[in-house]
Amino acid sequence: MLRSGLWKWALPGLLFAVLSGAAPALLAEEPRVVSPTVPYVPTPQNVVDRMLAIGKVGAQDYLIDLGSGDGRIVITAARRFGTRGFGVDINPVRITEANENARKAGVTDRVSFQQRDLFEADLSQATVITMYLLPRVNIALRPKLLDLKPGTRLVSHDFDMGDWKPDEAARIPAPDKYGGSGGESDIYLWVVPAKAGGSWRVTLPVSGKPQTYEVSFEQKYQFLGGSARLGERITRIDNARLRGEEISFGFTLDVNGAPLRHEFSGRVQDGRMSGDVRLSGSRVAARVEWNAERGAAPRTP
């Protein structure tokens, strides 16, 4: 794909011409990104292939490519896997080129390309979003991306999301930015996390008796911390993680007079949680179902 991106060593605000023959692009220093202009830089096909692989793109997906250039990510996914989707680019020349490439590849029934500001594009249908943009554009897009449906996969070539750490990352050989050999490309994957932060009332049976816990999560992206309370007993949760709607966490708390280890796994959907919890202690060893609803904030000790 030909993408809108920037060499890793380029300085913010630098004026430069892309050596591939495209017209020079100006990167203006602005306090806020609104309609970014980014240079026209090719992504090698082997990087395209790895981006689709790390994003686990398949026939069931709807892929949106931000800064789609000649359209090769969307077209490659459609041709190989039957994936539907579209590409967004601000440059009308690239849109014409991408639509012509889709016609030649015989995939116009599955893909299209739209000239528009990527900040105004409707991303709600996406199950996968690919991009090769400036670091500051990634950061500016971050709030919009975090509001997408949990489980949406985001795949970026070369540039990360600041303090939103990726769920996966890979570095692969690729031609350097001037077309020579010996370069490397970074690929990052994020899975949009569900909104799990706040207070929950968790119910599950222990030795046949229903128990209600107060669990409070502190969330930063896909990472969770927090505490759990049963009656007057309180402890910190551990090993907590989100991957899309999937959630896991644990804690150890005295129940019926003995320490009991709780290891939860489940899903966050429509303001509820549910799944299985493995209980292990000197008096209890079982796997049972659990459910949770949002509740009042836990009492302080």
Instruction: List the domain boundaries for the chain.
Output: 2-191, 198-294
At residue 180, the pLDDT reads 60
**Domain pair 2-191 / 198-294, same fold:** no
Instruction: With a cut of 70, list the residues of the chain below it in pLDDT.
Output: 1-40, 42, 176-182, 296-301
Q: Which CATH number fits domain 2-191: 3.40.50.150, 3.90.190.20, 3.40.50.1860, 3.40.50.720?
A: 3.40.50.150
Angle at 266 between CA 262 and CA 267, to 5 degrees: 145
Residue 93 is predicted with a pLDDT of 95
From 3.30.2350.10, 2.40.128.120, 3.40.50.10470, 2.60.120.200, which CATH number describes the 198-294 domain? 2.40.128.120
* pLDDT given for residue 181 in this prediction: 62
- Residue 174 has what pLDDT? 79
Q: Rounded distance, CA 116 to CA 198, Å?
A: 37
The pLDDT value recorded for residue 141 is 97
Q: What is the reported pLDDT for 183?
A: 83
DSSP string across the chain: -EEE---TTPPTT--B--TTSPPPB-----SS-SS----EEEPPHHHHHHHHHHTT--TT-EEEEES-TT-HHHHHHHHHH--EEEEEES-HHHHHHHHHHHHHHT-TTTEEEEES-TTTS--TT-SEEEE---HHHHHHHHHHHHTSPTT-EEEEES--BTTB--SEEEEEEE--TTS-SSEEEEEEEEEPPP---EEEEEEEEETTEEEEEEEEEEEETTEEEEEEEETTEEEE-EEEEEETTEEEEEEEEEETTEEEEEEEEEEEETTEEEEEEEEEESS-EEEEEEEEEE-SPPPP-
pLDDT at 116: 93
